[in-house]
A and B are shown apart, each in its own frame.
Chain A
Amino acid sequence: GEDVEQSLFLSVREGDSSVINCTYTDSSSTYLYWYKQEPGAGLQLLTYIFSNMDMKQDQRLTVLLNKKDKHLSLRIADTQTGDSAIYFCVLATSGTYKYIFGTGTRLKVLA
């Protein structure tokens, strides 16, 4: 099955950039999502990228996809304390029903 790995924890200072990484094994993934989960809450879709793209920018968020290395990253510019949360990369393949969740990265933003 698909393995989707993320580093467990990231700590940054307010105003700095954060980069959250995700590596995966199955190259058939066609849609790659980033979700944010605040403590005790549901998951909020932040952004997504199609597998035929290398980069997508959406305000403070930049998603980079390196298909050769099977590596996805989410960069948050000017990180704020409100960005403190768990971030999940989620992969999906056309024609299937399953969304494959990464292990999650806990981002802590220090004031």
Chain B
Amino acid sequence: DTEVTQTPKHLVMGMTNKKSLKCEQHMGHRAMYWYKQKAKKPPELMFVYSYEKLSINESVPSRFSPECPNSSLLNLHLHALQPEDSALYLCASSQALQAGENEQFFGPGTRLTVL
């Protein structure tokens, strides 16, 4: 199984809502990533988990809250988002945290719209 799955595919939420994005992989990868991608732009790194611990937070606003309940699952909890947070949210995983030696596998993304 070389797949990263993400749910939901699409999400529309109001600025006062609380929602969560989910990501799952069963490749035994120990590093998992959240990226945000705006239209016609490359993905921007948000968070990195290594061995279920948060290793990197790229100065992301606290209205985004990541969680890694186990080695296969990664969640992104959303609360009080702004319309400018509308984007494609991509999850990725790699064998380990060291870039380069470990290629990233990406999920299909969740298209988020904040009204």
Contact (A92, B99) CB under 8 Å given A43-B43, A104-B40 = yes
- Please tell me which stretch of A61-69, A72-80, A95-103 contacts chain B, meaning at least 4 of its Cβ atoms lie within 8 angstroms of it: A95-103
Q: Which 8 residue pairs are nearest across A and B when measured between Cβ atoms?
A: A101-B42, A92-B99, A92-B100, A31-B100, A42-B106, A43-B106, A42-B108, A94-B100
A-B CB contact pairs (8 Å), 11 listed: A30-B100, A31-B101, A42-B90, A42-B109, A45-B103, A93-B99, A93-B100, A94-B100, A96-B99, A96-B100, A98-B99
Contact (A104, B41) CB under 8 Å given A33-B103, A42-B90, A97-B56 = yes
Q: What residues of chain A have their CB less than 8 Å away from a CB belonging to chain B?
A: 30-31, 33, 35, 40-45, 48, 88, 92-99, 101-104, 106
Closest to A38 in B: B108
Contacts of A30 in B (CB 8 A): 100
Closest to B10 in A: A40
Residue B81, interface by CB 8 Å: no
- Nearest CB of chain A from residue B46's CB, rounded to whole Å: 12
Residue B113, interface by CB 8 Å: no
The CA of A16 and the CA of B17, in the complex, are separated in Å by: 49
The CA of A94 and the CA of B98, in the complex, are separated in Å by: 7
Interface residues on B, range: 20 to 34
Contacts of B108 in A (CB 8 A): 41-42
Closest to B48 in A: A97
Contacts of B88 in A (CB 8 A): 40
Closest to A48 in B: B103
Contact (A88, B100) CB under 8 Å given A40-B88, A40-B111, A42-B90 = no
Residue B97, interface by CB 8 Å: yes
Closest to B31 in A: A97
- Nearest CB of chain A from residue B27's CB, rounded to whole Å: 13
Contacts of B90 in A (CB 8 A): 42-43
- Nearest CB of chain B from residue A94's CB, rounded to whole Å: 5
- Interchain CB contact under 8 A, B104 and A45: yes
Residue B55, interface by CB 8 Å: yes
The CA of A76 and the CA of B30, in the complex, are separated in Å by: 33
Closest to A89 in B: B42
- Interchain CB contact under 8 A, B111 and A97: no
